């Protein structure tokens, strides 16, 4: 099979959740003998070509006002203009059309489309190619992809979001198959009428079997961690609040990631006097997680399925996760805690229990590894290949 994967970012061994999923998918399919090409955004002025780990990669120039990843410093007006262009960007569609003509894939699977825009679906449909789209976030419902505004989650797209995303929603008619990385994110889109005619499936992110964990020497101090985007919707400030309610040096808090510089500066100021709070910046996830006793995923928004939950379980690290979005779908057995992120005392109580009863965390480690076994790379690849076959059959049927 000749396959084109389209995703905003692709950096092998990078640290973003969705881009690591696309990397695992691309390299896994290539290892099975499929010809895989990835189309992603690049900072150059023309298409740049590379071959990485057996995968052909095409870095496409971004035809918009500025490079937005991870967070843009542009002012309000600049951001509004960027998103207006991204609602339907024919210049990006022409670039993708030229690359499809060159590579002649048999099927196209799109992932995160910020920067490309859903306009890239038009040339796929015009060429009669089967099209599968993977839902990693709320991009088709909300210009900012989060459905979170003013510190609160949106029950439904507001009037401004419906207007801004109308071109994207209209383009979903071209999609033959839709994959949700969680049941939550798939149901959320179908609730608002998207992909009503497409084949639909849930394919959880998958991982290769990790190496056997190295023996860990007992530690006198509990290590609590956060790994993710440092933006308000991810809730790192609420974790800091809960941690600061513990007695000084009762545990260590390790924070890793990048995002909104102003938000990060605010958190650093609040923790500047605490020697038990450590900042790591952008890290390689596996070594960072392996050193933790407990990972906290304090999302305020409805996070579709944070990859970091599954990465932690894979390392045998229990998780305290907000009961939001697809996060509960990763839990099985006594592998951590789920809590209400709107209850200020809930997370503080979990941290206090973890400090008081470290033996429980030790027992949770094997349950965490057992939970991770449900998310194998083989199962993910099988799920995608089935979705591709179904999309191809649907497209062939439509031609008759």
Residue 259: predicted pLDDT: 87
Task: Tokens for 142, please give them.
Answer: 């909300």
Residues in the chain: 400
Give the pLDDT confidence score for residue 276 in this predicted structure. Answer: 96
- With CA atoms as reference, report the closest residue to 109 among 215, 265, 1: 1
Q: Which CATH number fits domain 2-207+376-399: 3.40.50.2000, 3.90.1150.110, 3.40.1410.10, 3.40.50.800?
A: 3.40.50.2000
Residue 323 has pLDDT above 80, yes or no: yes
Domain assignments of the chain as residue spans, ordered by start: 2-207+376-399, 222-372
Answer whether residue 244 shows pLDDT above 60: yes
Mean predicted lDDT score pLDDT of the chain: 93
- What predicted TM-score, i.e. pTM, was given to this entire model? 0.93
Q: pLDDT digits over 263-287, tens only?
A: 999 999 999 999 999 999 999 998 9
Scan for tokens 């995923």, then name that residue: 297
CATH of domain 222-372: 3.40.50.2000
pLDDT at 14: 56
| DSSP code for 173 | G
Tell me whether the CATH fold assigned to 2-207+376-399 matches the one assigned to 222-372. yes
Helix 236-243 / helix 261-271 crossing angle, nearest 10 deg: 0
Q: How confident is the model at residue 398 (pLDDT cuts 50, 70, 90)?
A: confident
pLDDT at 149: 86
Per-residue model confidence (pLDDT) at position 186: 98
Q: Which two tokens stand for residue 104?
A: 């002649």
Share of the chain above pLDDT 70, in %: 95
Q: What is the pLDDT of residues 15-72, one digit of tens each?
A: 567 788 999 999 999 999 999 999 999 999 999 999 999 999 999 999 999 998 876 6
| Contact (Cβ atoms closer than 8 angstroms) between residue 126 and residue 176 | no
State residue 215's pLDDT score: 63
Provide the 3-class DSSP secondary structure of residue 79: helix
Dihedral sign from CA coordinates of 229, 283, 353, 361: positive
What is the number of other CB atoms lying within 10 angstroms of the CB of residue 340?
A: 12
Q: Where is average pLDDT lowest: 116-130, 173-187, 355-369?
A: 355-369
Q: Using CA of residue 284, residue 286, residue 289, residue 291, what is the dihedral sign?
A: negative
Q: Tell me how far the alpha carbon of residue 254 is from its chain's centroid.
A: 21
């Amino acid at each position: 099979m000749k396959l084109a994967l389209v995703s905003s970012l692709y950096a092998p061994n990078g640290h973003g959740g969705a881009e690591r999923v696309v990397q695992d998918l691309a390299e896994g399919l290539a290892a099975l003998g499929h010809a895989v090409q990835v189309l992603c955004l690049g900072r150059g002025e023309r298409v740049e070509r590379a071959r990485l780990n057996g995968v052909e990669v095409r870095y496409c120039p971004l035809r918009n006002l500025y490079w937005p990843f991870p967070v843009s410093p542009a002012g309000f007006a600049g951001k509004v203009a960027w998103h207006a262009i991204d609602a339907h960007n024919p210049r990006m569609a022409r670039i993708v059309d030229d690359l499809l003509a060159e590579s002649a894939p048999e099927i196209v699977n799109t992932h995160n489309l910020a920067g490309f825009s859903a306009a890239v679906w038009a040339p796929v449909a015009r060429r009669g190619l089967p099209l599968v789209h993977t839902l990693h976030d709320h991009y088709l419902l909300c210009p900012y992809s989060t459905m979170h505004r003013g510190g609160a989650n949106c029950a439904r797209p507001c009037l401004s979001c419906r207007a801004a995303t109308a071109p994207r929603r209209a383009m979903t008619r071209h999609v033959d198959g839709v994959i949700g990385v969680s049941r939550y994110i798939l149901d959320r889109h179908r609730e608002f009428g998207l992909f009503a005619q497409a084949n639909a499936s849930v394919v959880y992110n998958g991982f290769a079997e990790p190496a056997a964990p190295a023996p860990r020497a007992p530690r006198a101090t509990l290590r609590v961690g956060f790994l993710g985007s440092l933006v308000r919707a991810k809730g790192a400030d609420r974790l800091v609040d809960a941690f600061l309610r513990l007695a000084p040096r009762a545990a260590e808090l390790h924070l890793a990631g990048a995002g909104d510089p102003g938000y990060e500066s605010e958190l650093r100021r609040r923790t500047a006097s605490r020697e038990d709070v450590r900042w790591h910046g952008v890290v390689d996830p596996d070594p960072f997680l392996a050193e933790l006793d407990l990972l906290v995923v304090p999302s305020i928004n409805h996070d579709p399925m944070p990859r970091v939950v599954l990465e932690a379980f894979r390392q045998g690290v229990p998780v305290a996760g907000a009961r939001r979005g697809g996060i509960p779908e990763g839990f099985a057995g006594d592998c951590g805690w789920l809590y209400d992120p709107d209850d200020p005392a809930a997370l503080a109580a979990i941290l206090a229990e973890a400090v008081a009863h470290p033996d429980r965390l030790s027992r949770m480690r094997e349950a965490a590894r057992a939970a991770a076994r449900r998310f194998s790379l083989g199962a993910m690849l099988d799920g995608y290949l089935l979705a591709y076959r179904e999309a191809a059959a649907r497209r062939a049927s439509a031609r008759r």
